[in-house]
Amino acid sequence: MERELHVISNGKLSFSQMATIAAEIVDYVDYIHIRERNKTTKELYEGVMLLIQSGIPPSKLVINDRIDIALLTGVNRVQLGYTSADVRIIKDRFPQLHVGCSVHSLEEALCKQQEGADSALYGHIFATRSKAGVPPRGLEELQEIATTLTIPVTAIGGIIPTRVKAVFGTGASGVAVMSSIWDANHPLEAVKEYEKQIQRWGEGQ
């Protein structure tokens, strides 16, 4: 199984700033998730189109929650949370979409898989500032989910490059990162470090 690198937007940057960084790193990542909860529909649409016009292939974009934005911009992957529309409805109405689901337990993950989800995002695995005070779920629980589900499972939360090997050792298909890229002084170098660890993992199999 090919291991993937997902970069998730942090809601802090303008789309112009995001496009500049995304254009630098796009060749080294598999997917860029647009998770911008405070942006209006107009801002989201124009922002995603700016990314595409800046050279980001729609096939490398994932839209968080907003099915309408994905359809309007020609992006075929969406990521759903616990407040999103039902997976079955989306898969029935828009079978062309890849529907990923963010999950927080094995029970929830199995439920989403049964509903037709194409992939799962699970975390947080390690302690992270964005989840201060909330205990991490750890590698053991990640392994239980990754080896139980038949759909790909991507891990998120506190995954620095030196932890990539341990994460993939659980059977996870990908790692998702956020602040370590967008907040980096040199985002391209930060992404390359993750890519190096992913390549080392592949060479060791």
List, in order, residues 6 or more apart from 133 with CB less than 8 Å away. none
User: 138: which 2 tokens?
Assistant: 């750890």
User: What CA–CA distance (Å, rounded) separates 125 from 133?
Assistant: 14
CB 39 within 8 A of CB 13: no
Task: Label the pairing between strands 61-64 and 77-80.
Answer: parallel
Tell me which residue has tokens 């700033």: 17
User: What CA–CA distance (Å, rounded) separates 171 from 115?
Assistant: 22
Question: Which sequence positions are flagged as catalytic?
Answer: 124
Measured CA to CA in angstroms, residue 112 lies from 72, 107, 150 at distances of 25, 9, 12
